[in-house]
Every structure is written in structure tokens, then in C-alpha cells.
Amino acid sequence: MSFEIKDKELAGRIGKLATKSGTLETPTFFPVINPFRRGDEVPPNKIKEIGFNQLITNAYIIMQRLGKNIDEGGVRELVGFDGVIMTDSGAYQLLMYGRNKVTIDPEEIVEYEKLLNPDIAVIADIPTKDDSSWEEAKESVTETLRRAKLVQPLIRNTDILWVLPIQGGVHYDLVELSAEEAKNIEGYGMYAIGSPVTVLEKYEFWKIVRMVAAAKMILPPDKPVHLFGGGHPLIMPLLVALGVDSFDSASYILYAREGRYITGRGTYRINDLSYLPCECEVCSKYTVKELLEMDKAERTKLIAIHNLHVINRELRIIKESIREGRLWELIEERARSHPSVREAFNEFIKYVGWIEKFDPRYKGRAKGLFLFDATSYFRPELLRHRAYLTKELLKERSEPLKKVVLVPASLNEKPFRNSRIFKEAIKEGIIKPGDAVFFYLPFFNYIPLGLDQTYPYGQFEAPQTPEAELVMNMFRNLSLMISKVISEGGKVLVLSCGKIPWAKESIVKVLERDKVKFREMCK
């Protein structure tokens, strides 16, 4: 087994996860199936036809039903699937029914999973409920780690990829503790972040962001990370951007049984819809009325097929966004689709300093940036830009800047050195040889003349009328720069332009101070 990263964007990646039965391209999704429930389920061959060459099933349920009466073909023959198969150990049953009703021996279930012979298998962890006290959560972390060490001799020398779950739930210090201990336990080729199901059901997505970030900031970046129960496309782009490589869920069928229809913008009850906003094989063939008139089992199966198509489509969109360097823009788009996703995005922004370390500086097929509003201010590209300028501003110089000219940047004239204002200032002698020229504009705050032709300063699109918050951020940064120049004995000239919203003379005068001069260029 091996994991090779092929492309990166933010902390997300497209990878190749090699198993004994085939190679999976990540990020990917494992549909959950119950091998003993056939009535309204989507059959494995249909799951594969939709685009999923992998699925996950429950070793505990199989053991309860069949014991050791397993054919030589193991779980593959049992479920009738020739793709990659992952087995869970029954942690979901523990989470739902409690340890007083469900007992899973960690060594017994590992031996049983070896008998089933899947490609990927999860050890018997103790999940952390979202309403667990700190002490209860600590016990689930401690016991899961103990079990991980206990079964080490049993998982050695197998061709199964073993998964070590990270527990702690919404107690993020315990998630960090779990990840710190887990990374030092040998024998595991994959990690999984456990227990988000009930939090996801409540749409408390921001908690999942914090949980994933707490684990990912500690776990080794060269191993894949799975998220249990992450079955809604609404939150997938954010979690992929944090470094989640795979998901699993039974949401597609559980929702379908309740008549719930998944979209990229949320979930709807089928009887609340007038139209089916999708072009999949189900939605292009049937109407809402026709689905409602069907037998429930048939309707459930068809809605489940639709739900799988939506999940698959979202994963393909995410991968293309990674490849093109537009994952941040996809997240911004999704953050406007539901208040809970916007709240999760606000939490995500808190980790942008860490995310920037993984975000590639340049991609072979670099695309221009789309900057929308104040959330775009936190893009890693802009974070790097501002860090560079701060470093340049604060560094010691043998000769301090004697004169700085701040020129308003016109978004319609890129590179900015070709702008009418800059050329006129040169022609009229306002800007002289030796002057340090900076173009000022929202999002970037200010750009040195020497960089205006480099990426991404000439390759971006932004609104002509930016939010007040962005303009104030720009002025705060300009004020710091001006203070530094003046403290070193330099002079500052600020050019204004009434035709540029953030460069009107009345606005620019907020920078008024000793030795700062102003000149209007657009009268």
C-alpha cells in the first residue's frame, strides 16, 4: 500500500491510494452498504456504475449474522463487489447504542476482519459522543489508543491497510492528544477522524472544521486521513481544503428512506419540491409527481441513486478546483449556499496561516484570482503577499526610503505601470527617478512597482466598489507604512483620484499627518 500526492491546493490534495485490489484517486467517498439489507438498497454494481469503485461495510454486523461461516472469497464474495472494500469494526453501533448494549472485543474483531480480508480495515475504537463530558471523552481517547497498541501484533504482516481512528470529539484538546499519540503508533497506514455524525446531523459544521483542523495540524501529512460520517456534499469542499482525503456515509440511503433529496445547496424533502434541480439519470427521467406515486421501496432506491450522483459530482468539482487552483473560490461559493457553511468558513479562516504552508506558491496552469469580498482577503496568496511586504517594510536598510509615492491602482489598467495616472505622474515630474512607487488598492493593500507585472498582481479580478472593511484594512496598512517611512526621515506623497472609489480625495485624507502631501490626479 502507498499514498502518492499528485496535486495540491490549500491543504487539500489529489492523491493515489494504492491497495491490494486497486488504486483509488482521492479525495473520494465510500458509500456504506449493509450486505443483508437488499430491498431498498442500491446494489453494489449500481454503486460502481455511478462512479464509486469503493465501498465500506460493517464487520461487526457481518460477524453477528454469520459468525465464522465466511466463504473463501471473504467480504468481496459476500457483498458481490470487485472494487476496493473497507470494513468498519462496529463503532457506529457503539455510538448509537452505547457500550452497555454493544460489546466489541478489539482482538476478536481484528481477527474477524482479517478473515473477511478487505482492502482497508478499521480497528475497534471507542467513539466520542458530541455530548460527552471531558472525562468521558478522555476515556474514549485513552481506550482507543490502548486498543491500537494492543492489536499491533495482529495487524503486522498483513496486506490490509489498517486505519487508526482519532477520537476526542468536540473536546479539541483531546483530539490533539489523540493525534499526537496516534502518530507514534506503528503499523497503521491511514488515520480516521471519528465521531462527527451527530454534529453533522445538527448542521454544526464549524465544530467539524475545528475537529479536523486539530487533528490535521498534528498528523503526518504523508498519510491519508479519512472522516467518518462525512456524507453531505455541502461541507465536503471545506473539509477537503483542510486535508481530508476520504469520507464515508450511509446518508445517501438514510436520507432517501425519509424522502430527503440531496443537492449541493442543502437537502430537501421530495414532497416539498415542484421540480428536480438535477440532470442525473433519475431526475432526467422522472418528475416529482411520478416519484411520489411510486412504491416506497422503488422511490427510496431512485432517490438514493440521485443522492450518490450528487456526491460524486461534488467530488469531481472539488478535484477540478484543486487542479485549477480554485478551491478557495469554490469554498467561498459554497459558503453562500447555507448559513451553517458560512459559519464553518469563518472557522476555517482561523487556520489560514497553517493552510498557507501547504498551499503551492505556483501551479503550472496558474489561473487569475477571483476576489469577491472580505472573505477573499484571507486567501493564502494574499496572506503571503502581505507577509512579504511587512518583512520588507520592517527590514533594516542601509539607505532609508527618501520619498514614497502612493499611486491609486485602477482595476481596468493592469499592469498598473500602464495606468494613465502613473504615466501622467511621470510626465509631469511628480514621480522622479529614485522615488519608491507603490500602487494602493483593496485586498492587496499596496503593491511595489517592481512587482506589478508578476503573478498574481496583474492576474486577478475584483469588484470596482469594494466593501468598506476592505478599504479600512488598506488604510490601516498604508498608515503603518507611512509611519515607518516618516520615522526614518522620508517623505510621502499620496496621489488621489475621484474616479476610483477607494482613492477619492475626501477618503484618502484619512491619512493626514505631518510630512504627508496629497495631489488629486483626476480633476
* Cα 198 from chain centroid (whole Å): 20
What is the Cα–Cα distance from 402 to 492, expressed in whole angstroms? 9
How far apart, in Å, are the Cα atoms of 414 and each of 64, 364, 373? 68, 22, 20
Of 209, 210, 214, whose CA–CA distance to 191 is shortest?
214
What is the Cα–Cα distance from 341 to 413, expressed in whole angstroms? 35
Q: Which three cell numbers stand for residue 264?
A: 449541493
Q: Is the peptide bond prior to 456 cis by the omega test (within 30 degrees of 0)?
A: yes
DSSP H helical ranges for 281-379: 288-292, 296-324, 327-335, 339-349, 352-356
Residues 6 or more apart whose CB falls under 8 angstroms from that of 454 comprise none
131 is catalytic: no
What is the Cα–Cα distance from 4 to 6, expressed in whole angstroms? 6
Residues 6 or more apart whose CB falls under 8 angstroms from that of 77 comprise 71
How far apart, in Å, are the Cα atoms of 366 and each of 237, 328, 360? 20, 14, 10
The single residue of 40, 71, 88, 105 carrying the catalytic annotation is 88
Cβ(126)–Cβ(174) below 8 Å: no
Q: Which three cell numbers stand for residue 125?
A: 475504537
Beta bridge partners of 32: 56
Q: Which three cell numbers stand for residue 186?
A: 506503528
What is the Cα–Cα distance from 442 to 355, expressed in whole angstroms? 22
Three-state DSSP state, 354:
helix
Strands 491-496 and 516-520: parallel
What is the Cα–Cα distance from 172 to 204, expressed in whole angstroms? 15
Q: Name the strand (E) or helix (H) holding 49.
A: helix 44-50
Active site amino acids: 88
